[in-house]
Structure 1
Amino acid sequence: MTDAPPIVRLTDLRLDRGGRAVLRDINLNVPRGSITAVLGPSGSGKSTLLSALTGELAPAAGTVEVFGQAVPQAKRALLELRKGIGVLLQGNGLLTDLTAAENVALPLRAHTDLPDAVIRTLVLMKLHAVGLRAAADAYPRELSGGMARRVALARALALDPPLMIYDEPLTGLDPIASGVVMALVRRLNDTLGLTSIVVTHHVHETLPIADHAIVIANGGIVFSGSPAELEASSDPLVHQFLKGEPDGPIAFDAAPRTANAPETDPA
């Protein structure tokens, strides 16, 4: 890590949906070159936080800074910012009528004027980076779940973004595929000089590759520290989440909504 400004800075952030607070008092710095795990149970607000990082949701209060600037609301400026952010969607988002190579080429064709031969070379390089160069001409239906996830990762890397956001990258994957994907996240982060934010509820698969971890629950950040500190925490909220216990300070059933109560989030 260096003394450079954080690539992401959240300051006194409050995020609302439908006029109701989902997250409050969020403060977080993401150092360049790091992998930060954003952990929490379903409905805790992880997807809402991701929406704020990509500019889909404007803060109700506080600030979201990416690359040293506040995330803009103007469409043109926001589009330019997003070119520097790669997002791996939990559903992959691959177009079924296109081959793996054609899927990876989409961002390059949409945002550059590069010749076809150069795009083809870059696509093969990205597929090689995720171990799937030989699957360039395969269609998504011909790929396993883990392979499809890696093709989606290659596409997210197509424009060489300095910041990668992984939205539940292990959804639907078996333990072996999960291990492959998480090892790949660590290797790509280190070899390409990326900064990564992994939004997930898969704690035990994610902590081994993370430099920093935060846990979101009950409308805010209940833990921020190293993976080792997280696993050693005696906080009841953290303990309940790590152990998967149904009873504790994190409510399983949704509480009745009030104007001041945090609203649950789809993820």
Structure 2
Amino acid sequence: MTDASLPAVRLQAVRLDRGRRAILSGLDLLVPGGSITAVLGPSGSGKSTLLSALTGELVPTSGCVELFGTPVPRNARALLTMRKSLGVLLQGNGLLTDLTVAENVALPLRTHTRLPEPVLQALVRMKLHAVGLLAAADAWPRELSGGMARRVALARALALDPPLMLYDEPLTGLDPIASGVITALIQRLNRSLGLTSIIVSHHVRETLPICDQVVVIANGRIVFAGVPAALESTSDPLLRQFLDGQPDGPIAFDAQVRTRDAA
């Protein structure tokens, strides 16, 4: 159980490095429980690095990352327990091609629980029904469209009823119709299941309408945190460059020259 009075996610003075290079620094962020927060930014800005810190894959160089009032653990066993409270939808879906749709959704339940088979199968049907794919239970991943595969991956991410969902570029590779289906589904599931959702994306126009809070990352830091309306009405040159897709501005498009670390 999670305490509804606590923020789902809290970052305090967080710095995230890859090797000896700082990717993000000075991160302070609160994600309220029950909300949908979009993390937007240019490609390579560090959005997926932030997700890695939330899942415990990347340990902050400094600062603290908390989920529901508890710091993300570093002990392997404690980290595994914590991850059961996270649902993660990956960019590539991660479906196993030698398992059917139903078997893919059942995989987390078989791995982390000892439920009787009838109960397990009932849960699988419930999850597939929630994403509108109960009729595809016996299909193979190769038989699915891109949008259907994304929904199966979502059903699998929801299998253990996590209170926090992390979406890593959920609209990548989808046509406008499939993108609309996925965003509407994220919003509906968040409300009906009482979830907290964090959506990492560079699809601004598709993502903003379903969000309660928007965070924009650029140039190694958080440059905006607020409601979608405030972002859309901003006159800040950096934010306008990103929102309007302008190649020239405060956000560098070309990669910076990297110097060798001192021996």
TM-score (norm 1): 0.95
Q: How far is 1:3 from its partner? A: 7.5
Name the aligned partner's letter for residue 14 of structure 1: R
Find out whether 1:202 has 2:203 as its counterpart. Answer: yes
Q: How far is 1:257 from its partner? A: 2.4
Q: How far is 1:259 from its partner? A: 8.2
Q: Secondary structure at the match of 1:13?
A: strand
Find out whether 1:64 has 2:62 as its counterpart. Answer: no
Superposition map of 1:177-256 within 5 A? 177-256=178-257
Q: Which consecutive unaligned segments of at least 5 residues does structure 1 have?
A: 261-267
- CA distance in 1 between counterparts of 2:4 and 2:121 reads 37
Q: CA RMSD in A?
A: 1.3
- CA distance in 1 between counterparts of 2:44 and 2:191 reads 31
Q: Secondary structure at the match of 1:233?
A: coil
Q: Which consecutive unaligned segments of at least 5 residues does structure 2 have?
A: none
2:17 aligned residue:
16
Aligned residues of 2:38 and 2:213 also touching (Cα < 8 A): yes
1:105 aligned residue:
106
Q: Secondary structure at the match of 2:199?
A: strand
1:117 aligned residue:
118
- CA distance in 2 between counterparts of 1:27 and 1:200 reads 19
Aligned residues of 1:20 and 1:259 also touching (Cα < 8 A): no
- CA distance in 2 between counterparts of 1:244 and 1:259 reads 32
1:265 aligned residue:
none
1:263 aligned residue:
none
Q: Secondary structure at the match of 2:249?
A: coil
2:94 aligned residue:
93
How many residue pairs get aligned? The number is: 259
- CA distance in 2 between counterparts of 1:257 and 1:3 reads 44
Map Cα deviations across residues 161-187 of structure 1 (whole Å, 9 max, x no partner).
Answer: 000000000010000000000000000
Name the aligned partner's letter for residue 22 of structure 2: A
Name the aligned partner's letter for residue 208 of structure 1: P
Superposition map of 1:1-12 within 5 A? 4-12=5-13
Aligned residues of 2:16 and 2:25 also touching (Cα < 8 A): yes
Superposition map of 1:27-38 within 5 A? 27-38=28-39
TM-score (norm 2): 0.97
2:163 aligned residue:
162
- CA distance in 1 between counterparts of 2:260 and 2:135 reads 54
Q: Secondary structure at the match of 1:37?
A: strand
